[in-house]
Amino acid sequence: MRIRFGFVVLVALGFLPGAFFSSTPAQAKKLNVITATTDMAALTQEVGGDRITVESIAKGYQDPHFVEAKPSFLLKLRQADLLITVGLQLEIGWLPPLITQSGNPRIQIGANGYLDASQFAEILDIPTGPVTRAMGDVHPLGNPHYWLDPENGRRVAKGIAGKLGELDPTNASYFQEKFQDFDKRLTTAKQKWDADMKPYHGRKVVTYHNSLPNFAKNFGLNVIGYVEPRPGIPPTPSHTIELIGLMKRENCKIVMVEPYFDLKTPNSIAAQTGAQVVKYLPSVGGEKDVTDYFKLFDYDIALLTKAFQATQ
């Protein structure tokens, strides 16, 4: 009798809703892609065109390390055919429980609908020695901010196009065409970006967080220091003084800051070194009009070149 009561509860709460409302997503129509960040969504949109729907969990103006694992995201994930992550443990603090709780076998880690986009990209800052937390919140697999190199954008887009084609073979050639088109447009755009940045090759900059190694490598910037004393550790007075000294010695006039960090320390550093604070965007959607992958670089490069000119 008593056991039966327990099972009645189980059945009533677990199974019955499933039986009554089991709403399987319509497989025949567009692939439903959910991405961890807006940059992956933007690249997916480029190659997926109108044959997919894509939505990002994190917003472009949000720190992708610290997204809350809200249940409303589960509603998106449970309907997803494909989940694309940045990888390299960028989302380790919030994505794994969402995947587990989604009840969606398609997007579980290792399943066909789970794509870690970092596998396609050139990854920098892979620690070679032992990694400890004394280094701050380091990413033991390498720097996850790889999408800020257009070449990596190209590689990731190619990888995503392949994955979309694998999941939706009828549209595979369409995705490949879209990629070819994106590839061409990116080459053209990159020539312009390279030309814009060329006069400032080798310029020294300081960044708030270590999120620009790929960008710096690609566009020839020289990152000499960080406002954070260690990745993920907020600025400390002693480190700030050291950094000011370093910037004066090296004649560094640019402090690049992500929009989600407090500007107090960067502003005081700038005031004491005569540097400019550049509030660059690390992700698509960081500002309203930065709606795609191209506009992200357009925006950042315009900001940077202006700042370089002003601090000649």
Partner 1 sequence: MKNLITWVVVAMLLPIPVVAQQSTQSPQSPQDSSAMEQRIKDLEERIIALEGQVRMLKATPAAAPAQPSPVPGGATAQPQVATAVPAQAQVPAEAAPGALPVYGGASASAKALNPDISVIGDFIGKAGGNSVQPTPSLEMHESEIGLQAIIDPYARGDFFISFGESGVNLEEGYITFTALPAGIVAKVGKMRSAFGKVNMMHNHVLPWVDRPLVTNNLAGGEDGIDDAGVSISRIIPAPKGLFLEATGQVFRGDSGEDDSPLFHASRNSDVSAVAHLRSYTDITESTNIDIGLSYARGHNELGTDFLTQLYGIDATLRWKPLRRSIYHSFVGRGEFIWSQRQQVPTEQRAFGFYTSADYQLGRRWFLGGRYDLSDRSRFANLTDKGGSVVLTYWPSEFSQIRGQYRHFSYADNLSANELFMQVIFSLGAHGAHPF
How many residues does this entry show for the chain? 312
In the complex, what is the shortest distance from the CB of residue 120 to partner 1, in angstroms, rounded to a whole number? 6
- Interface residue with partner 1 among 5, 28, 170, 249 (CB under 8 A) is 5
> What are 207's strand-pairing partners?
226, 256
Residue 71 DSSP symbol: H
Residue 167, phi-psi category: left (phi > 0), alpha (psi -120 to 50), beta (remainder): alpha
Q: Is 70 in the site for partner 1 (CB under 8 A)?
A: yes
| Interaction residues for partner 1, span 159-218 (CB under 8 A) | none
Contact criterion met (CB below 8 Å) for 98 and 77? yes
Backbone angles phi, psi at 272, to 5 degrees: -85, -15
For residues 98 to 137, the per-residue mask of contacts with partner 1, x marking binding by CB under 8 A and - elsewhere, is -xxxxxxx--xxxx----x-xxxxxx---------x--xx
Judged by CB, which is closer to partner 1: 100, or 309?
100
CB of 295 to partner 1, least distance (A): 19
User: Residue 89 contacts by C-beta under 8 Å, 6 or more apart in sequence?
Assistant: 139, 140, 141, 144
**Closest to 252 measured CA to CA, from 234, 277, 217, 229:** 277
In the complex, least distance from residue 307 CB atom to partner 1, rounded to whole angstroms:
22
> Is the CB of 132 or the CB of 309 nearer to partner 1?
132
Least Å distance, CB 31 to partner 1, is: 19
Binding residue for partner 1, selected from 38, 44, 56, 62, defined by CB under 8 A = 62
Is 271 near partner 1 (CB under 8 A)? no
By CB under 8 A, residue 226 contacts partner 1: no
Q: In the bound complex, what is the minimum distance in angstroms from residue 234's beta carbon to partner 1?
A: 5
78 binds partner 1 (CB under 8 A): yes
CA 116 from centroid of its chain's CA atoms = 12
Among 51, 53, 93, 295, binds partner 1 (CB under 8 A): 93
Concatenating the DSSP letter of every residue in 182-212 gives HHHHHHHHHHHHHHHHGGGTT-EEEESSS--
Q: What is the DSSP letter of 52?
A: E
The residue (of 49 and 259) whose beta carbon lies closer to partner 1 is 259
Asked if residue 243 lies in contact with residue 269, where contact means CB atoms within 8 angstroms, the answer is yes
The residues facing 278 across adjacent strands are: 256
User: How does DSSP classify residue 31?
Assistant: E
Closer of 43 and 252 to partner 1 (Cβ)? 43
Q: Are 107 and 83 in contact (CB under 8 A)?
A: yes
Instruction: Build a one-symbol-per-residue string for 18-57: x at contacts with partner 1 by CB under 8 A, - elsewhere.
Output: xx-xxx----------------------------------
Q: Which two tokens stand for residue 26?
A: 């319509």
Site for partner 1 in 229-258 (CB under 8 A): 232-234
Q: Nearest to residue 299, comparing CAs of 312, 275, 282?
A: 282
Residues at the contact surface with partner 1, assessed by CB under 8 A: 1-3, 5-7, 9-15, 17-19, 21-23, 59, 61-63, 66, 68-72, 74-75, 78, 92-94, 96-97, 99-105, 108-111, 116, 118-123, 133, 136-137, 141-142, 155, 232-234, 259-262
